[in-house]
A and B are shown apart, each in its own frame.
Chain A
Amino acid sequence: MDLVSFGQTVFAGLANGALYAFVGLGFSLISRSTGIINFAQGEFAMLGAVLTGLLTVHGIPLALAVPTAVLVCGLIGGALHVLAIQRAERANMAQLIIMTIGFSILIRGAVTWGWGSDPIVVPAFTGSRPLDFFGVTILPQALWLIGTLAIVTVLMWLFFHRTVIGLALRAGAANPLGAAFVGIDHKRLGAYSFVAAGLLGGLGGAVWAPIAFAQVDLGVALSLKGFTAAALGGFGTTFGPIAGGLIFGLVESLSAGFVSSAYQEAIAYGLLLVILIVRPQGLLGTIKRGATDDHRAEVLSAGLMPTRITRSDVVRFAITTVIVLVLGSALTGSWLTSAIFAGITAIVVMGLVLLTGYAGQISLGQGTFMMIGAYSSGYLTLKAGWPAIGALVFGMVLAGAFALVVGRFIFRLRGYYLAMASLSLLMIGQTLARELASITGGPNGLPGIAPFSIFGAQFFTDEQFYYVVLVFSLLTLVAALSIARSRVGRALLAIRSDELAARACGTNVMWLKIGSFVFAAACASLAGSLYVHYLGIANPLPFGFNASIFQIVALTLGGFLSLWGSYIGSAIVLAFPSVIMALGGASTSQASAGLQFLIFGLLLVCVIVVQSNASGRRIAGGVRRVIRLGHRSNVVAA
């Protein structure tokens, strides 16, 4: 690569890096002020870009469009805090993570519903004629971006270190109660920080948009990359996200130039994983011990979960079996299809009940293991002539082994960091699935997979396959229930309640977390295998971040600790598209998908608010006590 191309690559990297820095600054700002990590941060940048684009398309001059768009982003940020976060008084970290994921889905869904996912071209500020700098082509808009970043950085530093309010924000983040005693209202400051983060993200997006284009799908990648920028540089500093963003942008750009543009994403996310595991405080940050080591959770369930198999468990199992059998004969057509997908999703969610509900670890990357199952089944039955059941079991074992290896590293992380790490893993997996064409068939996948068969009996109609899914899901249910209602389940609940005290009782926390992770991975692999036998093709599409969203929504709606709820939550999530279509809420399938996400986002946020709000929990507890079939008595098996 000659010097000019190198210079080109470097400059492109810096320009993208500046955008990541904007998003990262927003992450850092909210984190320093409230301790929350706002998963929706990237969506603010997307909004800034899209709104600017929409306004200019409708004839509004750029000089007016940009500030308007940025202001709207700020307002939305503030609204999210005031309407949702402030009402979730006692939300724990897992609930807050899910709430901000809800924000992200909500914003994305709203934009998709309102506008669609077509890219919008945004005019540049000072014309798009590139400048020439020693042979390197430089877009003036990129200079605008970097310049704006520089100004914003200086202002931010001055704010945090030279104003009283900035000091108050930092104090409030470090010790909200103590700060309250000296008159610092952390609710108001939290709202201001969300507004500011919205402004920052929106500004970055608006100024960057003319360089490429504005599109609704930008948000998720930007959230991840902005998070990487902040993590790489250090969350708690002003210059950290700047340095992190620029470095990250450079790494991404250089790896595209020198290695391959296909693997650029995988390398970038790989970098994030390495940073999180090796140096979570970032390059410029300092490690804050103590607070994170001592994790005591707010009690999640309104009543106590049993840790032995009770009579009510047997009754519920019987009822569940009857219901799913009846549905099998009653459902037809697209409802049957939805039921099949719901059953497959429920299998993944059951694994998540153990991993996220019981063990308290959020994973947004179950798709990775689904892909292992999917490609194992696909490749082994298609290319190696294995029987379907053998390939399926092989996939589960492989997924479990992979989870065992990854778990050792990934469970050094907690909370948001763990969630982001799991998502990075998924992104890397998706890239590998697209690129390792000899095994996976590339982006088009492996077509022509035979329907599921066992001992010669083939299940190729929907009605037949429904029963396959039914049996497998009930088996998974029994396995998960058996674990939950055992001393292991008790230990997991203990760790969730008070990890320090659990350690003092001699529980091996790491192994229990890894064990749950392995179980959840095996469940996901099973689901992935079933998926490809149903669709007849194995490709990466059904196993990406959207699938993770469905799983999280299903888990939240069904109840973190409820295995029965995994059926209910999955059914709701999968029935949604049909319901929306039937109600005529959207004109195109794209808009319908947008509306679906919008409602999912709202549901996630509302459920968390209800769960974590004192009065909300009293209502939920009352409802539960009515439904409960007397868990505490009538123990059946120890």
Chain B
Amino acid sequence: MSAPVLQVKDLSVQFGGLRAVDSVSFDVRAAEIVGLIGPNGAGKTTTFNCISGVIVPTAGEIRISGETVTPFAPERACALGVLRTFQNVRLFGELSLRENIMMGAYSAGACGIVSAMLRLARHRRLERLAAERADYWMGRLGLIEYANSAATSLPLGLQRVAEVARAMAANPTIVLLDEPGAGLNKIEKKKLSDVLRSIAAETNCALLVVDHDMDMVMGLVERLVVLDFGKQIAEGTPSEVARNPAVVEAYLGAA
């Protein structure tokens, strides 16, 4: 069996005297959907930032497709196959929806200012590639009718789908989703969950979801990792985790 797409091994992050993340370990395999949950301050965002390169861990390592990558700069994440979405949707306001998704394919090849200026074959090829991927994902996710609209003028639900499309246009190995359900109503959340599940099944891409929203997470993920005060307190399927007394105590307090 091939190596898991993402391996987090004994990850620790210390800010001064505070252990924000304390020896967290888990794997994510291809096409798997894993959720990272925990009460506020549990260390989810810090772990998330380590995996996307924003923070350098104090100890432990992160492996992508079997290779150790830490420490790495956030701009390298895309090249490593790690794409992410943001808690507050960050689409490019100056570009249309289609162009936003095309930006996902930007790193598919190197093409600098000279190639662009002279319209060399390299540029034309990369543009065709980006256009194909954008058109594919817009079609797949039902965004075609908004292709030429300003991306930030769409309703939030569609913007979140668009952000996912942009990430997918990069042909990622794993997509990190930061509170994808935030700001959505029940119907939009269900739609987004369906979209994410179908994407994982179809493309073999792994998904790591960080969220507070239990309804969304429980219905979406196959496996959960639960953090509390930086430590890993549980791991398992949603139903297993829901029955775990340590988890119940972390969220609700001791009975």
CB-nearest residue of chain B relative to A518?
Answer: B113
Chain A residues with CB under 8 A of B112: 488, 511, 515
Asked if B95 and A490 sit within 8 Å, CB to CB, the answer is yes
Q: Report how far A507 CA is from B79 CA in the complex, Å.
A: 10
Cβ contacts under 8 Å, B79 to chain A:
506
Q: Which residue of B lies closest to A516 (CB)?
A: B113
Find the A residue at minimum CB distance from B118. A482
- Whether A487 touches B113, Cβ cut-off 8 Å, given contacts A509-B75, A637-B119, is no
List B16-44 residues whose CB lies under 8 Å from chain A.
none
Q: How far is the CA of A505 from the CA of B107 in the complex (A)?
A: 7
Whether the pair A498, B92 counts as a contact (CB closer than 8 A) is yes
Q: Counting CB contacts under 8 A, is B5 at the interface?
A: no
| A508 within 8 Å of B (CB atoms) | yes
Shortest Cβ distance from residue A513 to the other chain B in the assembled complex, whole angstroms: 11
Interface residue B170 (Cβ < 8 Å from any Cβ of A) = yes
B214 to chain A minimum Cβ distance, whole angstroms, is 27
A518 to chain B, nearest CB (A): 8
Does chain B have a CB within 8 A of A4?
no
Known contacts A488-B116, A511-B112, A515-B113; A501 and B90 CB within 8 A of each other: yes
Is A55 positioned at the interface, with any CB of B under 8 Å from its CB?
no
Q: List 7 A-B contacts (CB under 8 A).
A: A299-B94, A304-B94, A482-B119, A497-B92, A505-B104, A505-B107, A505-B170
Does B201 make an interface contact (CB < 8 A)? no
Q: Distance in Å from the Cβ of B112 to the closest Cβ of chain A? A: 6
Q: Which residues in A have their C-beta under 8 angstroms from that of B152?
A: 299
One of B123-131, B182-190, B191-199 contacting the partner: B123-131
User: Is B231 close to A, CB under 8 A?
Assistant: no
Complex: A304 Cα to B95 Cα, angstroms: 6
Q: Are A507 and B106 in contact (CB under 8 A)?
A: yes
Is the beta-carbon distance between A494 and B113 smaller than 8 angstroms? Answer: no
* Residue B99 lies at the interface, judged by CB distance under 8 Å to chain A: yes
Q: How far is the CA of A534 from the CA of B218 in the complex (A)?
A: 74
Question: Is B224 interfacial (CB-CB < 8 Å)?
Answer: no
Are the C-beta atoms of B117 and A479 separated by less than 8 Å? yes
Nearest A residue (CB) for B113: A515
Interface residues as binary, B63-76 with A (CB distance below 8 Å gives 1, 0 otherwise): 00000000000110
**A side interface size, CB within 8 A:** 42
Write out, one digit per residue, whether chain B residues 98-140 have a CB within 8 A of any chain A CB (1) or not (0): 0110111011000111001111000110111011000000000
A10 within 8 A of B: no
Docked complex Cα distance between A491 and B91 (Å): 13
Is the CB–CB distance between B94 and A496 below 8 Å? yes
Q: How far is the CA of A72 from the CA of B107 in the complex (A)?
A: 56
Name the A residues within 8 Å of B100 (CB-CB): 494
A612 CB to closest chain B CB (Å) equals 15
Q: Is the CB of A487 within 8 A of B123?
A: yes
Asked if A490 meets B124 with Cβ closer than 8 Å, knowing A305-B94, A504-B74, A504-B78, the reply is no
B78 pairs with A506, CB closer than 8 A: yes
Q: Are B113 and A483 in contact (CB under 8 A)?
A: yes
A412 at the interface (CB under 8 A from B): no
A residues 262-294 touching B (CB-CB < 8 Å)? none
In the docked arrangement, what's the CA distance between A508 and B96, Å? Answer: 21
CB distance from B165 to the nearest CB of A (A): 12
The 8 closest A-B pairs by CB, nearest first: A506-B107, A506-B78, A486-B116, A501-B90, A497-B92, A515-B113, A488-B116, A493-B94
- Taking a contact as CB atoms under 8 Å apart, the answer to whether B95 and A493 are in contact is yes
Is B251 among interface residues, defined by CB-CB distance under 8 A? no
Beta-carbon contacts of A495-526 to B below 8 Å, as 1s and 0s?
01110111111111101100110110000000
Complex contacts, A501 vs chain B, CB 8 Å: 86, 90-92
In the bound complex, CA of A297 to CA of B152 (Å): 13
Is A638 part of the binding interface, using a Cβ–Cβ cutoff of 8 Å?
yes
- Interchain CB contact (< 8 A) of A519 among B83, B111, B113, B166: B113
- With a cutoff of 8 Å between Cβ atoms, the chain B residues found around residue A487 in the complex are 102, 106, 111, 116, 123, 126-127, 130
A502 to B74, CA, bound (A): 11
Residues of A within 8 A of B (CB): 296-297, 299-301, 304-305, 307-308, 479, 482-483, 486-491, 493-494, 496-498, 500-509, 511-512, 515-516, 518-519, 632, 637-638
CB distance from B113 to the nearest CB of A (A): 4
- Residue contact A493 to B92, C-beta cutoff 8 Å: yes
B residues lining the A interface (CB < 8 Å): 52, 74-75, 77-79, 83-84, 86, 90-96, 99-100, 102-104, 106-107, 111-113, 116-119, 123-124, 126-128, 130-131, 148, 150, 152, 166, 170
B residues less than 8 Å from A486 (CB atoms): 116-117, 119, 123, 127
**Closest chain A CB from B81 CB (angstroms):** 10
Instruction: Known pairs A487-B106, A487-B116; list 14 more (Cβ under 8 Å).
Output: A299-B150, A300-B94, A483-B113, A486-B123, A488-B111, A491-B103, A493-B92, A496-B94, A501-B90, A504-B83, A505-B83, A507-B75, A507-B107, A516-B113
A582 to chain B, nearest CB (A): 40
Question: A508 contacts B94, CB within 8 Å?
Answer: no
**CA–CA, A557 and B48, complex, Å:** 45
Residues in chain A near residue B103, CB distance under 8 A: 490-491, 494, 502, 505, 507
Q: Contact between A483 and B117 (Cβ–Cβ < 8 Å)?
A: yes
- Cα–Cα distance between A638 and B152 once the two chains are bound (Å): 24
Q: Are A506 and B113 in touch, CB under 8 angstroms?
A: no
- Closest Cβ of chain A to B107, distance in Å, is 3
Evaluate contact between B93 and A483: CB separation under 8 angstroms. Answer: no
Q: Find chain B residues with CB under 8 A from A519 CB.
A: 113
Q: Are A497 and B117 in contact (CB under 8 A)?
A: no
Please report the C-alpha to C-alpha distance between residue A301 and residue B93 in the assembled complex, in whole angstroms: 10
Looking at the assembled complex, report how far the CB atom of A163 sits from the nearest CB atom of chain B, in whole angstroms: 32
Q: Which residues of B contact A305 (CB under 8 A)?
A: 94
| Cβ distance A334 to chain B, nearest Cβ, rounded Å | 36
Output the least CB separation between B178 and chain A (Å): 11
> How near does chain B come to A573, taking the closest CB pair, in angstroms?
26
B94 touching A503, Cβ below 8 Å = no
A498 and B127 in contact, given A504-B78, A505-B106, A506-B170 (Cβ under 8 angstroms): no
A482 CB contact (under 8 Å) in B83, B104, B106, B117: B117
CB < 8 Å neighbour of A502 from B92, B111, B123: B92
Closest A residue, CB atoms, query B126? A487
Closest chain A residue to B111 by CB distance?
A: A487
* B90 contact set on A, CB distance < 8 A: 296, 498, 500-501
Q: Which of B77, B92, B107, B127 is the most central at the interface, judged by chain A CB atoms within 10 Å of its CB?
A: B92
A178 to chain B, nearest CB (A): 18
User: B75 — nearest CB in chain A belongs to which residue?
Assistant: A503
Task: For the complex formed, measure the closest distance between the CB of A34 and the CB atoms of chain B, giving whole angstroms.
Answer: 25
Most buried by A among B79, B99, B128, B148: B99
Out of A304, A488, A498, A516, which one reaches B96, CB within 8 Å? A304
CA distance A505 to B111 in the complex (A): 15
Distance in angstroms between the alpha carbons of A307 and B130 in the assembled complex = 13
Give the residue name and chain of the A residue nearest to B128 (CB): A638
B75 to A506, Cβ gap below 8 A? yes
A632, B148: Cβ atoms closer than 8 Å: yes
Q: Is the beta-carbon distance between B117 and A504 smaller than 8 angstroms?
A: no
Which residues from chain B contact A500 at a C-beta distance below 8 Å? 90
Residues of chain A within 8 A (CB-CB) of B93 are 297, 299, 497-498
Q: Which residues of A contact B102 (CB under 8 A)?
A: 487, 490
Question: Which residue of chain B lies nearest to A493 when distances are taken between CB atoms in the complex?
Answer: B94
Cross-chain contact A504 with B77 (CB below 8 angstroms):
yes
A480, chain B: closest CB distance, angstroms: 8
B-chain residues with CB within 8 Å of residue A308 when the two chains form the complex: 127
A519 to B116, CA, bound (A): 12
- Report the bound CA distance from A500 to B126 in whole Å: 23
